[in-house]
Chain A
């Protein structure tokens, strides 16, 4: 599959724990975006990386951090987890970092915090 991939598909953990979500962009895409989808807030932009550097930040909590590695895959780290962090986390990628570039989405990681 040459599309955006995300692992794991599902993650169940306890409050106070730390997890790492992984995203591999489409081949050739330099930009990675992270979104959080919850029932009450809908789809919200968290953070964007372009070719290894942070490009834009959205409503990302200080307990959350991300990075993009030299091979362009990205990881989203969520720490001191709270019940309210339970959500679907999507990664998307695009060729460039700006303009009306189509963003291609991954299947998402469903995080459940108990």
Chain B
């Protein structure tokens, strides 16, 4: 079974401080990992995925297979980063491409 754990329901940081949103996963094969973000009154949208290894809006995430983690990081938080963040996992076998989501972390950036 695949599982995603986001240990923090709420994370508050000051503007300009570093941010790290934690995500741990459980999957027996080679997973695809994603971070989705939901800004206030907007729909869920993809922030980044591990296979593209890109930085979006200053956020990065590294897949650590040894620790089964995919933490989201940003060196300097901005007020516009305040949102709900969901870590998600997709399997790599046929019939397993649906997303398994963590319960989400609400990031609040204090001005």
A90 vs B36: C-alpha distance when bound (angstroms): 14
- Among A4, A42, A90, the one with the most B-chain Cβ atoms within 10 Å of its Cβ is A42
Question: How far apart are the CA atoms of A22 and B103 in the complex, in Å?
Answer: 25
Known: A43-B86, A102-B49. A108 touches B98 (CB 8 A): no
Chain B contacts of A99 at CB under 8 A?
32, 97
Check A100 against B49 for contact (C-beta < 8 Å): yes
Is B99 a contact of A56 with CB atoms below 8 Å? Answer: no
A52 interface residue (CB < 8 Å to B) = no
Query: Could you tell me if A97 and B49 are in contact, using CB atoms closer than 8 angstroms?
Result: no
The one of B36, B45, B51, B104 in contact with A100, judged by C-beta atoms closer than 8 angstroms, is B51
Count contacts on B: residues with CB < 8 A to the other chain.
Answer: 22
> Is the pair A48, B98 in contact by a Cβ cutoff of 8 Å?
yes
A58, B98: Cβ atoms under 8 Å?
yes
- Given the known interface contacts A56-B97, A98-B94, the answer about A103 and B32 at a Cβ–Cβ threshold of 8 Å is no
Are A105 and B44 in touch, CB under 8 angstroms?
yes
**Nearest-Cβ distance from residue A33 to partner chain B, whole angstroms:** 6
Indicate whether B69 reaches chain A with its CB closer than 8 angstroms: no
- The docked-state distance in angstroms from the alpha carbon of A44 to that of B88 is 11
B29 in contact (CB, < 8 A): no
Q: Which positions in B face A, CB cutoff 8 Å?
A: 32, 34, 36, 43-46, 49, 51, 86, 90, 94-104
| 7 chain-A/chain-B pairs, Cβ below 8 angstroms | A33-B99, A42-B102, A43-B99, A56-B96, A97-B97, A98-B97, A101-B97
